[in-house]
C-alpha cells in the first residue's frame, strides 16, 4: 500500500469523523431551537397572563374608585342588570335546546369557551347589541362589586333622578374600559334593545353571574 492510498484512507476517515460531528452538532442545534421556541412560547403566555391580570386589577380599582351617591350607583347598576339579562335572554332564545344547561349568564360565559356553537351565538348577540368582550368584563366586574348593596330602579325612576346618565359616567369614570362599557350599556338600554328586568330582580339576579370574577 503506497503513501497516497494510506493518505486517502486517512482522509476519508477524517471526513467521516467530521461528518459525524456535524450531524451531532446539527442535532444539538435542533434541540436548542426547540428549547428556545418552547421557552419563547412560555414567556409570551406568561406575559399575556400578567398583562391580563394587571388589566383586571386596574379594572377592579376603577370600579371601586368613583364616589357615586347611593342613588347614582343604583341607577348605573340598573342599566348593567338590564344589559346582562338582555344578553342571557337573547342567547337562550337562539339556543332553545340548551335552555336548561344555560340557566345563568355565568353558565354561558363558562360554556362558550369550549362549545363553538354557544360561542358563535354569544358573539352574534354581542354584535347585535353593539357590545364587545371588554365591555362584558367591565359590566360583570361592576355587577359583582356593587351587586349586594344596590337597588334596582325601573327606567321611569332612573329618568326622574338623572336625565342624562352618560354625562355622569363621562365625568365620574376615568378608566377607559369601564367608561366605554357603561356608556354602551346605557346605549343598549336606551335604544330599546334590552328589556327592563322585573320590579324586584334581586332574587332572580343574585346568581346571574356568580363566578365571572376570574
Across residues 51-59, what is the average pLDDT?
70
The end-to-end CA distance of the chain, in Å, is 80
Residue 15 CA to residue 82 CA, distance in Å, equals 78
Helix axes 176-190, 70-94, angle to 10 degrees: 70
Query: pLDDT at position 180, please?
Result: 94
Q: What is the pLDDT of residue 55?
A: 67
From 22-36, 129-143, 178-192, 199-213, the region with the lowest mean pLDDT: 199-213
- Tell me the pLDDT of the chain averaged across its residues: 81
pLDDT at 200: 45
Residue 47 binned pLDDT confidence (cut-offs 50, 70, 90): low
> pLDDT-based confidence at 40, cuts 50/70/90?
low
**pLDDT tens digits along 56-102:** 777 778 788 778 899 999 999 999 999 999 999 999 999 999 999 99
pLDDT at 24: 77
**Please, what sign has the CA dihedral across residues 107, 109, 111, 115?**
positive
Q: Is the pLDDT of residue 165 over 60?
A: yes
DSSP state of 107: H
Report pLDDT for 147. Answer: 81
Interacting residues of 128 by C-beta distance below 8 A, sequence separation 6+ = 90, 193
Dihedral (C-alpha) 180, 185, 189, 190: value to the nearest 10 degrees? Answer: -20
Mean predicted confidence (pLDDT) in 187-213: 56
Residue with cell 365591555: 135
| Mean pLDDT of the 9-36 span | 73
User: Highest mean pLDDT: which of 2-11, 34-43, 158-167?
Assistant: 158-167
* Global confidence as pTM: 0.70
Q: Is the CB of residue 173 less than 8 Å from the CB of residue 62?
A: yes
* Grid cell in block for residue 170: 363621562
The span from the CA of 36 to the CA of 19, in Å, is 25
pLDDT of residue 163: 83
Question: Residue 138 burial by CB count (10 A; 0-12/13-18/19+): exposed, middle or buried?
Answer: buried
Amino acid at each position: 500500500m503506497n503513501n497516497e492510498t494510506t493518505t486517502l484512507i486517512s482522509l476519508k476517515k477524517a471526513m467521516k469523523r467530521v461528518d459525524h460531528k456535524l450531524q451531532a452538532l446539527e442535532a444539538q442545534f435542533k434541540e436548542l431551537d426547540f428549547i428556545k421556541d418552547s421557552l419563547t412560547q412560555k414567556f409570551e403566555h406568561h406575559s399575556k397572563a400578567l398583562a391580563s391580570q394587571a388589566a383586571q386589577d386596574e379594572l377592579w380599582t376603577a370600579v371601586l374608585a368613583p364616589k357615586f351617591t347611593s342613588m347614582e350607583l343604583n341607577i348605573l347598576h340598573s342599566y348593567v342588570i338590564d344589559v346582562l339579562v338582555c344578553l342571557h335572554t337573547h342567547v337562550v332564545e337562539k339556543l332553545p335546546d340548551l335552555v336548561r344547561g344555560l340557566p345563568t349568564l355565568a353558565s354561558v360565559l363558562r360554556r362558550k369557551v369550549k362549545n363553538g356553537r354557544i360561542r358563535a351565538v354569544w358573539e352574534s348577540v354581542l354584535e347585535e347589541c353593539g357590545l364587545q368582550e371588554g365591555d362584558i368584563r367591565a359590566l360583570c366586574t361592576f355587577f359583582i362589586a356593587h351587586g349586594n348593596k344596590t337597588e334596582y330602579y325601573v327606567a321611569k325612576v332612573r329618568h326622574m333622578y338623572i336625565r342624562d346618565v352618560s354625562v355622569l359616567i363621562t365625568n365620574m369614570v376615568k378608566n377607559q374600559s369601564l367608561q366605554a362599557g357603561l356608556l354602551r350599556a346605557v346605549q343598549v338600554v336606551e335604544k330599546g334593545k334590552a328589556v327592563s328586568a322585573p320590579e324586584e330582580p334581586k332574587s332572580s339576579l343574585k346568581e346571574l353571574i356568580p363566578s365571572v370574577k376570574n
